[in-house]
Amino acid sequence: MPAVEDLLQNAAEDDTTCEAEESDEEEWGDGDEYPINTLGLPSDFSAEERADHALGLLAEYELKIRVGLAFDQLEAVRMAVQHRAAQIENKRKNVRTSKANAVAERHIRQAVLQAKALASRYNANYTRICALRPLDYVARKDASAGGRLRLIDAEKDLTIANMGTARTLGDSKVTGSWIWSVFQTESAPRVSRHARTNMVQWFRAKAAKDRADEAVNKICAEFRRTSVGYGAYAALWRQAAETNGRPSGERAYALKTAAMWDRMQRLCDEHYNSSRRPAVDPLQLDQTRVSPRFEMIARGN
């Protein structure tokens, strides 16, 4: 059991400590802030200062961390751009009244500000990445995932292709935003990397193919209906020529007109048969299948 003198001595030390703390509070006042010692990171120093203080190893680790953070931030930017596009599409399809239009506009503005804020946060991190890289760094020689990173232009890069609109002349020369083709995929399977990188381009190509298939089927249907129409006209004129009691001049004119419609039907069939793939039924409604293998898959064989 401690002696009474020891207890009194400890109590006196506690009182001294309390008095020192109270004096510190009186010195700084109630509304003042205490000084905070901020721990600097290697990216806060220049390349020369990092070399003088032997911060090379710490700079390498910070660079790796910030590259991973950059890809996480880039994914958040992509989601924000998709969210903004969804808000715009929802307004276009579902908003009718002026009140609902005002609410939708507010949501769109918030989505735009959120995307720009996330892009600004990514740019700040990317600036730190550039500061941590060596002075002789060349991006085109960097084969790692971090070498594909770049600054985000808030006016040009925060865009996404619209899958619902048809392509027009000159769209094939338009380059989409780079944020949809950069992923941190070194550890992912090769097929997964390819699928994620070309996801937008694949859907765009699929939509273009569907429109082309629709146009092909429409043209084939027009060929078939035109041929049937020409044949029907020829049959009507032939029937008129075979009517009893018709003068020879009218009969000759009817037969001549029937022969004209027969010739037009034959020419239409020739063009139709030469335009289609060989060994395909001309009455088949879907003319877009490209190989017998796909035909077997469609039949379930």
- 99's tokens: 């009140």
At residue 2, the 3 state secondary structure works out as coil
Residue 229: predicted pLDDT: 93
Residues of the chain with pLDDT under 50: 1, 4-5, 7-8, 11, 20, 24-25, 187-191, 290-298, 301
User: Which of 39, 35, 30, 124 lies closest to 73 in space, CA to CA?
Assistant: 124
Can you give the pLDDT at residue 122?
A: 94
Residue 172 confidence (pLDDT): 57
CA 270/CA 285 separation, integer angstroms: 18
**What's this model's pTM, rounded to 2 decimal places?**
0.52
> CA geometry: angle at 209 spanning 207 and 215, to 5°?
110
Measured CA to CA, the distance from residue 248 to residue 9 in angstroms comes to: 143
